[in-house]
C-alpha cells in the first residue's frame, strides 16, 4: 500500500457470508445501541439474545431462499476493485458494522502501514442515527482502542448529489428498458426507522423525501414519465411505531397496476432487497393484489456510474471543504 495515498473506507451494515454468520450478524445488529435503544449494555444484550432466538428460524429460511448468503459482501468487494482501478489517488477498503471486516481489524492494518489520512464514506445515501451514526461510532471506538488518531474526513450523506442521482436515473432507465414508463407506478422503497428517531430530529425521513423530489424531476427530464411516483418504507420490526406508509400497504393501494420498485436507502443489494422485495413482496403482489407486472430495480452495487459518483463526491468535498465536523462522543 502506498503511504502517500489517502485511504477511503466504505461503511455498510454487512451481511452473512454463510449460514454460520447469520447468528453473528443478528446478535451484533440487535446489540447495537442505535438499533435497540437501551443504554445498559447488559440488559440490551439480554433482550437482543431473546429477539435473535425468536427470529433466527425465519431469517435462516430467508437466506436459504437466496443461496445461503447475503450478496452485499461480493458486490462491495467488486465495487472496491472498480474504485481502485478508476482512482489511483486513493486506496479503497471497506468496513462492515455487523460482520467482518470489522472496524478494529481494518484500522489496525492502516495504523501498521502508517496511514494517517482517511475518508469514511457512508454507503447509506441518507443520514440516520440508526445507520450512519452507528457505523461511525463503531469506527471511533476502534480508533480509541487502537490509540489511532488519523485525520478523518467524513462523507455521511449524498442523497442530493447530482452524480449519485444521475446514476440512479440511468439504472432505472436501463431496468425498465423498452417498457412504457407511463404504465408503471414507481415506488421508492426506503428502509424504515422507528418514528421516535424522526420525532427527535433525525433527518432521515426529510432526506428521503427530498431525494425522491430530486429524482422525480430528473426522471421527467430524462423522458421517464411514470404513472405515479411515491415513497414507502419497508422492514419494520416489532410493535413500536415506524415511518409509514409501509411498502406492502403501498403495493396494496395500487391493486392491479404495474409496479417498479427502487430500494431508495440501499446502495448495495442485500436480503432486504433480493428476499424481502423480490421474493416476499413479489409473491404477495401477484397472489393477493393482482399486480400485472412487478419489476425490482437492482441497487447500484458495483455499477461504474456509481463508482465514478463516489469518486466525484469525494473530489467535491475536498474542493469545497465540506467535511462534517462529527461529534466523536462514544456511547
pLDDT 10s digits, 50-63 = 999 999 999 999 99
> What contacts 53, CB < 8 A, 6 or more positions away?
none
What confidence tier does 322 reach under pLDDT thresholds 50, 70, 90? low
List, as residue ranges, the binding site.
191, 272
Tell me the pTM: 0.94
List, as residue ranges, the binding site for Fe(2+).
191, 272
Domain topology for 162-296? Rossmann fold (3.40.50)
Q: For residues 149-171, give the mean pLDDT.
A: 98
Asked whether residue 34 carries a pLDDT value surpassing 80, the answer given is yes
Which among 296, 203, 202, 311 has a CA at the least distance from the CA of 258?
296
| H helix intervals, the chain | 20-30, 41-65, 72-86, 103-112, 134-146, 162-176, 195-199, 204-221, 247-253, 271-274, 282-289, 304-320
Asked whether residue 2 carries a pLDDT value surpassing 80, the answer given is no
**Per-residue pLDDT, 320:** 80
Question: What SS3 string covers 202-264?
Answer: CCHHHHHHHHHHHHHHHHHHCCCCCCEEEEEEECCCCCCCECCCEHHHHHHHCCCCEEEEEEC
> What contacts 96, CB < 8 A, 6 or more positions away?
12, 13, 14, 15, 72, 73, 102
Q: For residues 211-225, give the mean pLDDT.
A: 99
What confidence tier does 285 reach under pLDDT thresholds 50, 70, 90? very high
Helix (H, G, I), strand (E, B) or coil at 48: helix
Report d(CA 200, CA 47) in Å as an integer: 24
How is residue 231 written as a grid cell? 415513497
**Per-residue pLDDT, 239:** 80
Question: What share of the chain has pLDDT > 90, as a percent?
Answer: 91
What confidence tier does 37 reach under pLDDT thresholds 50, 70, 90? confident
- CB-CB contact of 208 with 264 (8 Å): yes
**Per-residue pLDDT, 250:** 98
**Per-residue pLDDT, 231:** 99
Output phi, psi for 104, to 5 deg.
-60, -45
Q: What does the domain layout of the chain look like in residue ranges?
A: 6-17+70-157+305-320, 162-296
**Average pLDDT, whole number, for the chain?**
94
Which among 149, 133, 274 has a CA at the least distance from the CA of 203?
133
Hey, how many other C-beta atoms are within 10 angstroms of the C-beta on 292? 12
Q: Which CATH class is domain 6-17+70-157+305-320?
A: alpha beta
**Per-residue pLDDT, 330:** 36
Q: For residues 143-160, give the mean pLDDT.
A: 97
What confidence tier does 237 reach under pLDDT thresholds 50, 70, 90? confident
What confidence tier does 5 reach under pLDDT thresholds 50, 70, 90? confident
30-39, 209-218, 227-236: least confident range: 30-39
Asked whether residue 282 carries a pLDDT value surpassing 80, the answer given is yes
Question: 6-17+70-157+305-320 and 162-296: same fold?
Answer: yes
Asked whether residue 15 carries a pLDDT value surpassing 90, the answer given is yes
**Neighbour-count burial for 1-33, b at 16+ CB within 10 Å, e otherwise:** eeeeebbbbbbbbbbbbeeebbeebbbbbbbbe
Asked whether residue 319 carries a pLDDT value surpassing 90, the answer given is no
Amino acid at each position: 500500500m502506498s503511504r502517500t495515498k489517502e485511504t477511503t473506507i466504505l461503511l455498510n451494515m454487512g451481511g452473512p457470508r454463510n449460514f454460520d454468520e447469520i447468528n453473528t450478524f443478528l446478535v451484533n445488529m440487535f446489540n447495537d445501541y442505535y438499533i435497540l435503544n437501551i443504554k445498559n449494555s447488559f440488559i440490551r444484550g439480554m433482550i437482543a439474545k431473546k429477539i435473535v432466538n425468536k427470529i433466527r428460524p425465519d431469517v435462516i429460511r430467508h437466506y436459504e431462499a437466496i443461496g445461503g448468503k447475503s450478496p452485499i459482501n461480493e458486490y462491495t468487494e467488486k465495487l472496491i476493485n472498480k474504485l481502485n482501478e478508476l482512482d489511483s489517488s486513493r486506496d479503497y477498503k471497506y468496513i462492515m458494522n455487523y460482520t467482518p471486516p470489522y472496524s478494529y481489524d481494518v484500522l489496525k492494518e492502516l495504523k501498521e502501514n502508517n496511514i494517517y489520512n482517511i475518508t469514511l464514506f457512508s454507503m447509506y445515501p441518507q443520514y440516520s442515527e440508526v445507520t450512519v451514526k452507528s457505523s461511525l461510532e463503531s469506527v471511533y471506538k476502534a480508533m480509541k482502542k487502537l490509540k489511532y488518531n488519523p485525520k478523518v474526513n467524513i462523507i455521511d450523506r449524498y442523497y442530493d448529489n447530482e452524480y449519485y442521482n444521475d446514476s440512479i436515473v440511468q439504472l432505472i432507465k436501463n431496468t425498465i428498458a423498452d417498457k412504457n414508463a407511463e404504465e408503471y407506478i414507481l415506488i421508492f422503497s426506503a428502509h424504515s426507522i422507528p418514528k421516535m428517531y424522526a420525532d427527535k430530529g433525525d433527518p432521515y425521513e426529510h432526506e428521503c423525501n427530498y431525494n425522491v423530489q430530486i429524482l422525480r424531476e430528473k426522471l421527467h427530464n430524462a423522458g421517464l414519465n411514470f404513472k405515479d411516483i411515491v415513497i414507502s418504507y419497508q422492514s419494520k420490526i416489532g410493535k413500536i411505531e415506524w415511518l409509514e406508509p409501509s411498502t406492502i400497504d403501498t403495493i396494496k393501494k395500487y391493486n392491479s397496476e404495474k409496479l417498479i420498485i427502487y430500494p431508495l436507502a440501499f446502495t448495495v443489494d442485500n436480503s432486504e432487497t433480493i428476499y424481502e422485495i423480490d421474493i416476499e413482496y413479489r409473491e404477495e403482489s401477484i397472489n393477493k393484489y393482482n399486480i400485472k407486472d412487478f419489476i425490482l430495480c437492482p441497487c447500484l452495487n458495483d455499477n461504474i456510474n456509481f463508482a465514478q459518483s463516489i469518486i466525484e463526491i469525494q473530489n467535491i468535498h475536498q474542493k469545497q471543504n465540506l467535511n462534517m465536523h462529527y461529534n466523536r462522543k462514544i456511547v
